[in-house]
Amino acid sequence: MNESQEMVKLTINNIPIEVPKGTKIMQAAQTIGIDIPHLCYHEDQRIKAHCRLCSVEVTGKKRLLAACSTEVWEGMDVHTDTQIVRDTQVSILQLMLANHHKDCLSCPRNQNCDLQRLCSRFNILESHLPSVVKEEPRIETNPSIVRDPSKCIRCGRCIRACKDVQGIAALTYAGRSSDIVVTTAFNKPMEATDCILCGQCSLVCPTGAIVEKDDTQKVLDALQDNTKHVIVQVAPSVRVALGDAFGLEPGAIVTGQMVTALKLLGFDKVFDTNFGADLTIMEEGHEFLHRLNNDGVLPMMTSCSPGWVNYMEKHFPSCIDHLSSAKSPMSMFGAIAKTYYAQQAGLKPQEIVTVSIMPCTAKKFEAARPEMGRDGYQDVDIVLTTRELIKLIKYVGLSIGKLPENDFDSPLGLASGAGAIFGATGGVMEAALRTVYEKVTGKTLEKVEFMDVRGFDGIKEATIHLPGRDVRIAVAHTLKNARKIMEQVKKGTSPYDFIEIMACPGGCIGGGGQPIGTTNAIRKQRIAALYEIDRTLPIRKSHENPDIQTLYQDFLGEPLSERAHELLHTHYHKVDKPYQFD
């Protein structure tokens, strides 16, 4: 607590406390271990005060006050446990339940649902009110996100995430009174709207109203199929997020245990997307140098984040040429797995099933793109989010914290620290700079850390001095920040040469497929963990990864070679919506 800050004395349930001026009742109560129930409140969001579950009694006030939105004042006398407060809590939960499909067993959020948890806390086993829930089918029209309107409690968290974090506002309230719904423009399927499938809505939804498309059964089926060689790759940010669901400290690094879990699940090979990240740096770095030296389209923008790519295609189609043509690490990995690795393993590409574990719902959409494959097969067959991996690990009864550690398999399992930091905002840029700098100067970097591009700021910028010219770079995360950069690019006034954009807050560590309960505070702990992984690895630059070097020697030739282009690059295109407002 800041010494100089003005303090306020109050009592909560007759316990005297002192908190800084400006503290809300809910946080003040937390300091003495009182959890005031809440549903619409989320620590990273603007306060809405919609659900009213956090109503508390304050002496001298005729009506209850919302603990989420009311600042404490000197001498305030708060009671969170009176009859009217309890009546309010129970009534509100009863009212919500009456307008909610209570089929918990079939819900993806079973045992991980805030509404369910609160009903359990207040010993509400069933609503005594008649059901008023409207029969509405689940909306499963896209490969990434499923909406179940019958489970929506209209708290508005998803709306805030989409509007305030991403600046997209694909979701909104429509109608009024008990007919109010959270929906999309003209009630179109999400993929047909401004939505870019990032899944941030699914991360903040307190119930099962917005969830990822569940592909776990597909994986279980593939693992049971003896005719298939099932391999898995894991994104850098998964290993620092997975532990959350198993009671470990946020940011716990569980790489080795995760590999063990995947082996116990029965995957034939457990590989690392970080290898794909190293490969991406080789291609993207060289692409950047090529553009720089040949009057190519600048600024060049990264294309690893599928939510961001979707955003570009839908919101700034005239700027698509600025996107790097390099595929994402996941898709590069998939392409190499079905060609190079298939060759090495003596398998036909069709016999291999590639599974990706990603922090991201949009990756499911990316994997399904027709351009991400060839000869009738896809580079990546199944994408699971971190949440789905958690489900699988729990399915087989493993506890991540206690598992012995194991190493990734060879040859697509060895990666540099540069690959690891891909999971954090600024990581791709830093990884690229490590390689670009050494390629251009021919010198060895003395300090591989580029601190200017690290941290949680929305937009970071730096200038890198290369022989002959300075390169101006920018890094942005969340699409609200990306928009600021894109307005400049669109106008042709962008001062930058190279820009990294990640759709989700904090980068992939804060992706829309990460464990429920992810907050900005947790995102920061995961970022720190990724830099720790990088710091402790023997190889920290992508071009020094010996398996990458072998891959080029034996298979690809040079970066940007014809074969590299065929397998590792792609192109993007304008995506029309059924409506246009601008």
Which residues are marked as active site?
Answer: 284, 287, 304, 324, 363, 366, 371, 508
Q: What are the distances in angstroms from CA 579 to CA 193, 314, 362?
A: 8, 12, 22
Judged by CB, which is closer to other proteins: 132, or 451?
132
Instruction: Give the C-alpha separation, 487 to 508, whole Å.
Output: 24
Stretch that binds other proteins, among 107-115, 152-160, 187-195, 489-497 (CB under 8 A): 152-160
Q: Which residue has the tokens 């693992």?
A: 223
Q: How far is the CB of 154 from other proteins (least distance, A)?
A: 7
DSSP-derived secondary structure for 68-90: TTPBP-TTEEEESSSHHHHHHHH
Q: Does 445 participate in binding other proteins (rule CB under 8 A)? A: no
Q: Does 446 participate in binding other proteins (rule CB under 8 A)? A: no
Q: Does 170 participate in binding other proteins (rule CB under 8 A)? A: no
Show Cβ contacts of residue 125 under 8 Å, excluding neighbours closer than 6 positions.
Answer: 119
Q: Does 96 participate in binding other proteins (rule CB under 8 A)? A: yes
Stretch that binds other proteins, among 85-93, 109-117, 509-517, 519-527 (CB under 8 A): 85-93
Among 55, 150, 257, 385, binds other proteins (CB under 8 A): 55
Q: Under DSSP, is residue 113 helix (H, G, I), strand (E, B) or coil?
A: coil
Instruction: Give the C-alpha separation, 507 to 476, whole Å.
Output: 9
Q: Does 45 participate in binding other proteins (rule CB under 8 A)? A: no
As a whole number of Å, the end-to-end CA separation of the chain is 47
β-bridge pairing 55-58 and 76-79: antiparallel
For residues 98 and 131, the answer to whether their CB atoms sit within 8 Å is: yes
Among 15, 32, 132, 521, binds other proteins (CB under 8 A): 132
Q: How far is the CB of 43 from other proteins (least distance, A)?
A: 17
Judged by CB, which is closer to other proteins: 66, or 362?
66
Q: Does 154 participate in binding other proteins (rule CB under 8 A)? A: yes
For residues 479 and 311, the answer to whether their CB atoms sit within 8 Å is: yes
Q: Which residue has the tokens 């708290």?
A: 155
Q: Does 47 participate in binding other proteins (rule CB under 8 A)? A: yes
Q: Does 98 participate in binding other proteins (rule CB under 8 A)? A: yes
Show Cβ contacts of residue 146 under 8 Å, excluding neighbours closer than 6 positions.
Answer: 138, 139, 140, 210, 211, 212, 213, 214
Q: Does 14 participate in binding other proteins (rule CB under 8 A)? A: no
Q: Does 128 participate in binding other proteins (rule CB under 8 A)? A: yes
Q: Does 130 participate in binding other proteins (rule CB under 8 A)? A: yes
Tokens representing 376 are 């009738």
Q: Does 91 participate in binding other proteins (rule CB under 8 A)? A: yes
Among 95, 104, 345, 445, binds other proteins (CB under 8 A): 95
Q: How many residues bind other proteins (CB under 8 A)?
A: 36
Q: What are the distances in angstroms from CA 490 to CA 473, 485, 520?
A: 17, 9, 30
- Per CB under 8 A, contacts with other proteins among 460-519 are none
Q: Does 69 participate in binding other proteins (rule CB under 8 A)? A: yes
Q: How far is the CB of 9 from other proteins (least distance, A)?
A: 21
Instruction: Give the C-alpha separation, 483 to 525, whole Å.
Output: 26
Q: Does 443 participate in binding other proteins (rule CB under 8 A)? A: no
Q: Does 221 participate in binding other proteins (rule CB under 8 A)? A: no
Q: Does 444 participate in binding other proteins (rule CB under 8 A)? A: no
Among 19, 41, 44, 88, binds other proteins (CB under 8 A): 88
Q: Under DSSP, is residue 147 helix (H, G, I), strand (E, B) or coil?
A: strand
Instruction: Give the C-alpha separation, 78 to 127, whole Å.
Output: 29
Instruction: Give the C-alpha separation, 414 to 548, whole Å.
Output: 9
Q: How far is the CB of 468 from other proteins (least distance, A)?
A: 49
Among 15, 126, 140, 173, binds other proteins (CB under 8 A): 173
Among 63, 491, 571, 573, binds other proteins (CB under 8 A): 63
Judged by CB, which is closer to other proteins: 168, or 502?
168
Instruction: Give the C-alpha separation, 554 to 561, whole Å.
Output: 13
Q: What is the 3-state secondary structure (H, E, C) of 306-346?
A: HHHHHHHHHHCHHHHHHECCECCHHHHHHHHHHHHHHHHHC
- The H-or-E segment that residue 230 falls in is strand 229-234
Judged by CB, which is closer to other proteins: 76, or 418?
76
Among 8, 26, 34, 66, binds other proteins (CB under 8 A): 66
Q: Does 133 participate in binding other proteins (rule CB under 8 A)? A: no
Judged by CB, which is closer to other proteins: 92, or 440?
92
Among 84, 297, 396, 521, binds other proteins (CB under 8 A): 84
User: On the CB side of 7, how many CA atoms lie within 13 Å of its CA?
Assistant: 10
Partners of 353 in the β-ladder: 230
Instruction: Give the C-alpha separation, 102 to 124, whole Å.
Output: 12
For residues 338 and 345, the answer to whether their CB atoms sit within 8 Å is: no
Q: Does 125 participate in binding other proteins (rule CB under 8 A)? A: no
Judged by CB, which is closer to other proteins: 153, or 253?
153
Q: Does 160 participate in binding other proteins (rule CB under 8 A)? A: no
Our CA angle for 378, 220, 150, nearest 5°, is 90
Judged by CB, which is closer to other proteins: 179, or 446?
179
Residues found near other proteins in the complex (CB under 8 A): 47-53, 55, 63-64, 66, 69, 71, 84, 87-88, 91-92, 95-96, 98-99, 128-130, 132, 153-154, 156, 173, 175-180
